Structure 1
């Protein structure tokens, strides 16, 4: 099974065997263009090139004829418009984009519109929401709207190039105009976003595990995949990663520190709240209630660039130095909003308590603590409504640092288990393919094959971490008036 995970900055293609063990992996970076104010985009062709490169890297290590099925996971939200031939219309806009912040603010300021969107779609509008971005495009790029046949999502763009079929699944559709309780497109939500006349852009819906078609001859020539290999609809990467961490089970909590700081609990309840997003899962009886922001690897990458530690040896040395600091060391408080912030906050990166005697290791410790503290910030609202069971599953690139994993355990005050799967999103996609082929009995059985490392237990000094959480939250509250003033002036 080939599982493809199309993230916001990289694409991973992983071939798995019948027991869902990875046997070959290909990776490719997918650079983001931030040249416009608030823009975070790439061309559709650049995305496809990254996918082709990743697939080629994986297939060099296996016999392509042995691939039995393909499934794709991809980042959610953003905006992806395609024409009738499946070609991209405009750029592939990622979920790190904030160009539609004024549209999101306009909607938030209207209680009637906001109430409809929250109650029907399961989440409030944000600057990277497909609804706000589609409204922005309608106002600022009408030529995109005129040329578009459909609005799809990142994983659909990839699958469309493989099979030629325009369709999406419920786990991605629930980010936009879906009536979550009925699992159908909602004219009422379209109207509330101000794009009531664009319902014709909404693609057909089907289950994540449903087959869509086979790899076309053109796609076979471009990727090396055998023509005709079945391709499944695919799923949102948060759902896929939860499968790859064995956490798509009621009450299980999964945190990911990747391009986004993603925190979600699997539930069978229908609670909605503006502080989180209630997303349909791969089966109609499950949802993931999640709270996210682009405050993980973009912040770490910024700090590494600033400190001249972009090469792996320099990075590892700096993180080791930060881990070696005494627990009671005074380190700066870092609000990691350097590439975005939670919806509605409109925050910018902030460093407080920086001293002349601080070195790079102190700043790096503050950055890693700030990213870890965002997990707690996001989970605070979810903890009011949901009960968490078991250890916290932790994934994403930063989680490979044992120092960071320990910080997350300390911040949350709960045992943490790091995903052993290097690419849990690709594992989740491949799990769909394994069930489709009959190699694994069910998705629950597939999750049981996902491996987690031993538990990492939190620091016994709970009061020290309680103070850090309080300082972090207080610094956010203190900056809100200034952030709002700066945002309104833009």
Structure 2
């Protein structure tokens, strides 16, 4: 018997079949289109995403030699996926990296609302969160909002397509409307965001058995599976990736090197008096997952490859490898998203830039600065959130395939970096979660053990760490100096 784990990312949908012991039996992928109808907009057709999921599951089931006993799904988080009372989308989904609600978030920050909300939710608001999007819709598309019955996330949308039920996993619900200590929706947060009238649009927070429902006959037909098999809604993708990396204690952190660079640490308690930043997710065993998901990730490397390496990212890495860390190298501030940055600080106006360029600056120095700038972001995120007991950092995502970058991250952070075995860690984490929820603890322990074997370690070099540390201090100072110019640049656009 096998399970199919769905991992619905922003640009790629994956469906992976696992045996009960965690062996990967089959895999299918499909690309999805991100629509940008206007500058700073980022949307997807909800129906297209569902069709891509159904198609990949069908292909995986056809490849799999074992009968399918269940489905578990994880997906991109945040954003707003609106449907009417019949479950039909009322507009395109607005994604987590959308920037149209910039002015709303900026006003909330100026009025102290973001700081007040952080004392309840443990998370900082940014333009791609449901609160900002719903507020924008109430001002600019009130007729759309009036037709909507449910404000879902991507995973909630897929769960409704497969089961006909509307629910939110606690991880998806944690930000922005959840009282993180009590793990339930907060009327005070809705009041702060002027969204009290839309409380009934929030799907109920499901836990335990409520996260499972039978596959409907119509969905089963599209997916090529038997109707009635259980469908489980796992936590959203950054949480399941942590599970897939074996990260579940404060001693280990996780960094996803993907569309977002997401640094994740586990904390036994959450300090709500600190400066508002990042995302706090209610985690297992009463713990909290502190996530710092940036708005610019590996897309900066693709951008750099287009400009400096003829579009060849492998060539970009070769250029970077040819350059040693030095005091006089170029610096890169990697804030390329139209929505600015959300972690480890919130600044919708943030913009990227190179520094310390001269006629002597080489393509290799530019390439090295691109990788280094992103590694400095990881270090800053860890310094902002990590527990003192932190010993190692596991890496996942497409960027983790680079030995060069993994070693640089170890040297920049001064922490041992671990690359787990396996390529589909988000799907693997969702599968592991499904085993635990369904009571298959023996199989879950075997899968957890397999995660710990076959890992590749990258040990930091003390000399390199010292050099990077000096450059890191300069990089922070350059960022602080540049931030004073971001408002001016915004006004000129």
The residue aligned with 2:11 is 9
Could you say what secondary structure the match of 1:59 adopts? Answer: helix
Q: Give me the whole-angstrom Cα distance separating, in 2, the residues matched to 1:243 and 1:405.
A: 20
User: What TM-score comes out, normalization by structure 1 length?
Assistant: 0.93
The residue aligned with 1:159 is 159
Closer, same or farther: CA 457–429 of 1 in aligned 2, 3 Å: same
Q: Choose from 374, 378, 382 the match for 1:375.
A: 378
Deviates more, 1:264-273 or 1:414-423: 264-273
Cα offsets for 1:379-398 (capped at 9, x unmatched) = 22114xx2243321111111
The residue aligned with 2:29 is 27
Deviates more, 1:49-58 or 1:128-137: 49-58
Which structure 1 residue ranges, 5 or more long, are not aligned? Answer: none
The residue aligned with 1:116 is 116
The residue aligned with 1:76 is 77
Q: Give me the whole-angstrom Cα distance separating, in 2, the residues matched to 1:381 and 1:372.
A: 14
User: CA offset at residue 319 of structure 1?
Assistant: 1.3
Cα offsets for 1:276-330 (capped at 9, x unmatched) = 322112x3612101222122122122122223544xxx43233123213334485
Closer, same or farther: CA 307–223 of 1 in aligned 2, 3 Å: farther
Q: Give me the whole-angstrom Cα distance separating, in 2, the residues matched to 1:33 and 1:224.
A: 29
For the aligned residue pairs, the C-alpha RMSD in angstroms reads 2.1
Closer, same or farther: CA 284–463 of 1 in aligned 2, 3 Å: closer
Aligned length: 482
The residue aligned with 1:131 is 131
User: What TM-score comes out, normalization by structure 2 length?
Assistant: 0.92
Closer, same or farther: CA 103–400 of 1 in aligned 2, 3 Å: same
Q: Give me the whole-angstrom Cα distance separating, in 1, the residues matched to 2:340 and 2:285.
A: 30
Q: Give me the whole-angstrom Cα distance separating, in 2, the residues matched to 1:445 and 1:171.
A: 25
User: CA offset at residue 426 of structure 1?
Assistant: 0.5
Which structure 2 residue ranges, 5 or more long, are not aligned? Answer: none
Conserved? CA contact 2:255–2:396, under 8 Å? yes
Conserved? CA contact 1:266–1:287, under 8 Å? yes
1:291 aligns to 2:280 (yes or no): no
Q: Give me the whole-angstrom Cα distance separating, in 2, the residues matched to 1:411 and 1:486.
A: 30
Deviates more, 1:402-411 or 1:226-235: 226-235
Q: Give me the whole-angstrom Cα distance separating, in 2, the residues matched to 1:50 and 1:304.
A: 29
Conserved? CA contact 1:243–1:450, under 8 Å? no
1:141 aligns to 2:141 (yes or no): yes
The residue aligned with 1:224 is 224
Closer, same or farther: CA 94–445 of 1 in aligned 2, 3 Å: farther
1:353 aligns to 2:353 (yes or no): no
Q: Give me the whole-angstrom Cα distance separating, in 2, the residues matched to 1:334 and 1:58.
A: 41
Deviates more, 1:334-343 or 1:99-108: 334-343
Q: Give me the whole-angstrom Cα distance separating, in 1, the residues matched to 2:10 and 2:308.
A: 24
Could you say what secondary structure the match of 1:176 adopts? Answer: coil
User: CA offset at residue 56 of structure 1?
Assistant: 3.3
Q: Give me the whole-angstrom Cα distance separating, in 2, the residues matched to 1:372 and 1:120.
A: 31
Could you say what secondary structure the match of 1:166 adopts? Answer: coil
